[in-house]
């Protein structure tokens, strides 16, 4: 069982809850909550919704990468609902890959909302 931090809004978390069944999942909705739990719990994976806490997912990535305890923890961005900015979000996330290493962007609609495919992509960083 992997310990996973999901930083997302409630709607995004509900979308991922079934997919992450069987894992030790902690859920936070604000950057402040995320910062606090990262300082006290070791995670195997961090999943951040692209719209987390008014689009503060990038700040969360910076916190994870600059903390000695979490700097190597796999970090995945996820978009769980349609967005008119999907292409721009993807470009931004790809640009961030060079500056602050992360494990990619998973867009549930691109994966046809297939829970098995989404789970496989979320955990791909463990098989690399």
How far is it between the farthest Cα atoms of the chain? 37
Q: What was the pLDDT predicted at 100? A: 76
Round to whole Å and give the CA distance between 86 and 90. 6
The residue that leads in pLDDT, 84 or 55, is 55
pLDDT tens digits, one per residue of 68-117: 989 999 999 998 877 666 677 777 777 777 667 888 888 888 888 999 99
Residue 128 has pLDDT above 60, yes or no: no
Q: What was the pLDDT predicted at 64? A: 95
Q: What was the pLDDT predicted at 119? A: 93
Q: What was the pLDDT predicted at 127? A: 61
Residue 123 has pLDDT above 60, yes or no: yes
Percentage of the chain surpassing pLDDT 90? Answer: 63
Q: What was the pLDDT predicted at 125? A: 73
For residue 78, which of 23, 126, 124, 24 has the smallest C-alpha distance? Answer: 124
pLDDT tens digits, one per residue of 30-49: 999 999 999 999 999 999 99
Q: Under a CB-based contact definition with an 8 Å cutoff, are residues 108 and 118 in contact?
A: yes
Hey, what domains does the chain have and what are their CATH numbers? 3-127 (3.40.50.2300)
């Amino acid at each position: 069982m992997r310990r996973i931090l999901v930083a997302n809004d409630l709607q995004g978390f509900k979308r991922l809850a079934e997919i992450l069944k069987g894992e030790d999942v902690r859920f936070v909705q604000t950057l402040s909550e995320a910062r606090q739990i990262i300082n006290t719990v070791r995670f195997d994976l961090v999943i951040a919704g692209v719209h987390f806490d008014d689009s503060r997912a990038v700040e969360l990535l910076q916190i994870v990468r600059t903390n000695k305890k979490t700097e190597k923890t796999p970090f995945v961005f996820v978009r769980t609902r349609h967005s008119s900015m999907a292409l721009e979000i993807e470009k931004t996330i790809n640009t961030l890959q060079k500056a602050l290493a992360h494990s990619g962007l998973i867009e549930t609609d691109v994966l046809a909302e297939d829970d098995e495919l989404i789970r496989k992509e979320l955990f791909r960083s463990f098989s690399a």
